[in-house]
Amino acid sequence: MKSPHTAYSILDLALVSEGHSLQQTFNNSLDLAQNAERFGYTRYWLAEHHNAVNIASSATSVLIGYIAQGTKTLRIGSGGIMLPNHSPLIVAEQFGTLGSLYPNRIDLGLGRAPGTDRETAQAIRSDFMQAAHSFPEELEDIQQYFSMDNVKSKIRATVAEGVEVPIYILGSSTDSAHLAAKKGLPYAFASHFATKHLEEALEIYRKEFKPSEALNKPYVMAGINIIVAETDAEAESFATSLIRMFVGIFTGKRDYMQPPTAMTQEFREIMQHPQVHQMLKYSFIGSKATVKTQVKNFLQNNPVDELIAVTNIYDVKDRIRSYELFAEIMEELNTGQ
């Protein structure tokens, strides 16, 4: 019996590794995207974050344009644009422009979280909290700006009208599942760090889904952390950089992505700390054979249409190799091997 086909994609934070410049970081993202295109990935998304020294994807739409210019067929988009940080009109203009420059290749994933701390969110947009509560209405505004019906409106995003840019709802809780279902839009769940509500959110989305012009049946994407190497030991070593990154998040001491070290007992104990263990629940680390088994089990328990892999590894060559091995895993699973 042929296995159901599961698309596979990449979510990139443009992580800044220690000793690397921003220009190197951006070039590394482009290098990864070009290889991802060769490996058969469906899309390459960049995530909006602010005030984090180790994340360079803050000017998300600008970076999307850079990656799209350097690739040919890969879908490039946002995973996501944090809508309460922005005017819906400006978002429509930016992505309408991208959609015209790179036809049928741009995705607009939208989230309602700030992607930063409270003080920075306030600095970005003073009425952030009000905008967050108005997320459904601001989503409708964006849809209207992309519609040809908007040509008669007094307020127009002329570069967006009639441009094909699919909208995705991103979420890390059940609230977003209700909205994505109501709007009949594809739904991407951030299970690479928000693991607690994955099953409940997907059940809500599928149960409440209403077909729309954009989508006639539910479409689900799930984020997972992936680190694949030639051996389990090598992958575990690469994972020490990820562990240290999460420790920095919990302690408020963010730093550049650190070089890997040996996997020690101390690191293993950190991985088992309840808070860390919960956030990294869907982290699949090991050799190709090890990760293949883990991913297969995940898909059996959480059947989704698409996996979006997050691979936070210090060295870009090791990162690209991990994504190459993950693509091989997905092709084997998709062909029933």
Q: Residue ranges of the alpha helices (H) in the chain?
A: 22-39, 60-69, 88-101, 118-124, 128-133, 135-146, 174-183, 198-208, 232-251, 265-272, 274-279, 288-301, 316-334
Burial 50-81 (b: 16+ CB within 10 A, else e): bbbebbbbbebbebbbbbbebbeebbbbbbbb
Share of the chain above pLDDT 90, in %: 87
User: Does residue 207 lie within any of the structural domains?
Assistant: yes
- Residues ≥6 apart with Cβ < 8 Å to 105: 68, 73, 74, 75, 76
Residue from 160, 124, 169 nearest 142 by CA: 160
Q: Which domain holds residue 237?
A: 7-336
CA dist., res. 227 & res. 309, Å (int): 9
Does some domain include residue 2?
A: no
* CA separation, residue 290 to residues 33, 40, 326, 330 (Å): 25, 21, 11, 13
- Residue 11 located in a structural domain: yes
The whole-angstrom separation of Cα 231 and Cα 81 is 36
The number of CA neighbours under 13 Å toward the Cβ of 133 is: 3
Structure confidence at residue 45 (pLDDT): 98
- Span 212-225, average pLDDT: 97
CA dihedral 182, 185, 190, 191 (to 10 degrees): 80
Number of domains the chain is built from: 1
305 found inside a domain = yes
Q: Is the pLDDT of residue 3 over 70?
A: no
In a domain, 155, yes or no: yes
Residue of 249 and 216 predicted with greater confidence: 216
Given pLDDT bands bounded at 50, 70 and 90, which one contains residue 1? very low
Bridge partners for 106 per DSSP: 76
In a domain, 1, yes or no: no
Instruction: Give 255-310 pLDDT, tens digit per residue.
Output: 999 999 999 999 999 988 888 889 899 999 999 999 999 999 999 999 999 999 99
pLDDT value for 295: 98
| CATH number (domain holding residue 69) | 3.20.20.30
